[in-house]
Amino acid sequence: MIRWPGRTSQEKRGEPASLLVVGLGNPGARFEGTRHNAGAEVVALLAGRHSGSLRKSKELARVAEVRIGSEWVALAVPQTFMNESGQAVAKLVRRHGIDDPERIVIVHDELDLPVGDLKVKSGGGLAGHNGLRSITAHLKTQDYLRVRIGVGKPPGRQSGADHVLRRPGSAEATELAVVAQKAADAVEVILAEGVNEAMSRFNVRL
């Protein structure tokens, strides 16, 4: 069992969450619909599926607590900027009684995957993702689960930062809307059947 930095018994209230699902993105209207906010959009989709409403919380995030099957699940979208995501995640871990990194699912955009690809992963490297870097720094582990949404490499000489902070064209946006639904499905499979089943089911491009 992990002893998270700074955790106290007073910070955990009520029934611990079976899973903490965090969708990464940047706050504010100007970032809505950008590739970097793909993870946040998946969590909003999950909240809608399960009659939840993302609301501002003291944990620097918009949070919904929903019942999926028989399990309580905390859904969250940090309201920090991407490179400070770990601040919110560390607070959410304490708030929701998470004592195992495999009860944390981070949903995020991934430059190293083609548009429309989806990969479920347990632990591993950071692939240059500033949100993951911040989360790892705050949690002192990178053994949490990830649902990675492919947004593709930037075209020509465009930087990765410019690419992810832009909105995709209509054809790509349609692909990302489809993969967002699959990413939400993958989270539900992780909860119900475990990460290995989710990897075997979703880590194949049809």
Catalytic residues: 36
Whether the CA torsion 88, 90, 93, 94 is positive or negative: it is negative
Cα distances (Å, whole numbers) of residue 193 to 19, 39, 113, 197: 13, 21, 25, 6
Backbone angles phi, psi at 26, to 5 degrees: -110, 145
Number of residues that make up the chain: 206
Nearest to 103 by CA among 17, 12, 192, 197: 17
Q: Is 133 exposed, middle or buried (0-12, 13-18, 19+ CB in 10 A)?
A: middle
Report strand pairing: 118-122 vs 145-150. Answer: antiparallel
| Most distant CA atoms of the chain, gap in Å | 52
- In one-letter notation, the amino acid at residue 148 is R
Residues in Cβ contact with 114 at an 8 Å cutoff, skipping those fewer than 6 apart: 150, 152
